Amino acid sequence: MNYVYILRCSDGTLYCGWTSDLEKRVSVHNAGTGAKYTRSRRPVELLYYEEYEDRHEALSREWHIKRMRREEKLKLINGGKKMEFKELIKERRSVRAYASAPTHEELVQILTEAQQAPSWKNSQTTRWYVAESPEKHEELRQALHPANQNKVANAAMIVSTYVRNVAGFTREEPDNEVGNGWGAYDLGLHDAYLLLAARDAGYDTLIMGLRDGRKIREIFGIPENEEVLSVIAVGKRAEEPAFRPRKELAEIARFY
Ligand SMILES: Cc1cc2nc3c(=O)[nH]c(=O)nc-3n(C[C@H](O)[C@H](O)[C@H](O)COP(=O)(O)O)c2cc1C
């Protein structure tokens, strides 16, 4: 039997190949002798394969898959279906170069899904200011830290704020020592949902904490009782983002 397969490499990139012994081929890739590309990107994980009786058919299919864009390969891997949750969270990466922005309808859909995030007593104190027009986009871009200004071309941008003294408060008095930390907590949840909803719709994101909050307040006329937090770029990726390794779980989680 002949197999055309797709691997996910340790840096998150996809690799397509052909073989007559799938199991052996994957272990050869993981031993570092499978291909130059995979040698420096180990371990690899088998995501998908197709079977062919005919070797030529398999080779031709490999040729076609190799030329597919990443999004198309992912669609194939998921049988044309939407990505599974585990795939979705692996695919979510900060992207710093964009090809195009979501449509207005897509942005509405993404934000509507993000609204499902939990919040303190369902107080929903997150507010979003969406820069869609070229004019607002440029104004907002100027309010970003210089290091961020060249990362957001072609993307839509969303400013996140939260209304102070509501989440974690009863009659203007804090319920505990965290105070407005709860407002920021809820905003983080809303934005985490936003990132995943965007990814589910085929879009990537970049959270930017390096920005001028005062300028942003002016641009959108944001009231003083709201705290301006992040700016999030949303768009189709124009680069393959690098995988940023995570700490060992034991460093951040203790089980008792
Ligand atoms: C609160 C917050 C602020 C961030 N600010 C910036 C920023 O100003 N510029 C930037 O390029 N990335 C920024 N990032 C992105 C992080 O660098 C990125 O999430 C991290 O390196 C992990 O990479 P990943 O998102 O691709 O997994 C920010 C992320 C968070 C959560």
pLDDT in tens, the chain (256 residues): 999 999 999 988 999 999 999 999 999 999 999 999 999 999 999 999 999 999 999 999 999 999 999 989 998 998 877 768 888 998 899 999 999 999 999 999 999 999 999 999 999 999 999 999 999 999 999 999 999 999 999 999 999 999 999 999 999 999 999 999 999 999 999 999 999 999 999 999 999 999 999 999 999 999 999 999 999 999 999 998 988 999 999 999 999 9
Residues 226 and 110 in one domain: yes
Residue with tokens 């990139």: 13
Which CATH number goes with the domain that contains 13?
A: 3.40.1440.10
Cα–Cα distance, 244 to 241 (Å, whole number): 9
Q: What is the pLDDT of residue 173?
A: 97
Burial class (CB in 10 A: 0-12, 13-18, 19+), 202: middle
Does residue 231 sit in the same domain as residue 107? yes
pTM for this structure? 0.82
**Which amino acid residue places its CA nearest to atom 9 of ligand 1?**
208
Side chain identity at 49, as an amino acid letter? Y
Residues 107 and 182 in one domain: yes
Domain co-membership, 56 together with 183 = no
Distance 85 CA to ligand 1 centre (A): 21
* Angle of CA points 128, 146, 108, to nearest 5°: 20
Instruction: List the structure tokens of 57.
Output: 């058919």
Most ligand 1 atoms within 8 A of CB, residue of 194, 207, 228, 234 to mutate: 207
Atom nearest to 151 CA in ligand 1: 11
The predicted structure's pLDDT at residue 17:
96
Q: Do 11 and 118 belong to one domain?
A: no
CA distances in angstroms from 59 to 7, 53, 72, 217, 223, listed in the order given: 16, 11, 18, 57, 61
pLDDT confidence of residue 85: 87
User: 233 in helix, strand or coil?
Assistant: strand
pLDDT of residue 183: 98
Whether 105 is covered by a domain: the verdict is yes
Whose CA is closest to 114, among 158, 78, 75?
158
Looking at residue 186, its pLDDT comes to 98
Residue 245 lies in a domain: no
When divided into structural domains, the chain yields a total of 2
- C-alpha span between 192 and 197 (Å, rounded): 9
Q: Which domain holds residue 53?
A: 2-81
Q: Is the CB of 93 under 6 A from ligand 1?
A: yes
Q: Are residues 109 and 22 in the same domain?
A: no
Q: For residue 160, which of 233, 92, 94, 96 has the smallest C-alpha distance?
A: 233
Q: 131: which residues sit within 8 A by CB, 6+ positions away?
A: 137, 139, 140, 156, 157, 158, 159
Q: Do 115 and 217 fall within a single domain?
A: yes
Which residue's CA is the closest to the ligand 1 atom numbered 12?
A: 208
Q: Can you tell me whether residue 206 is helix, strand or coil?
A: strand
Q: Is the CB of 114 under 6 A from ligand 1?
A: no
The phi and psi torsions of 17 (rounded to 5 degrees) equal: -150, 180
Query: Any idea how long the chain is?
Result: 256
Is the shortest distance between the CB of 207 and ligand 1 below 6 Å? Answer: yes
Q: Is residue 208 in contact with ligand 1, taking CB distance under 6 Å?
A: yes
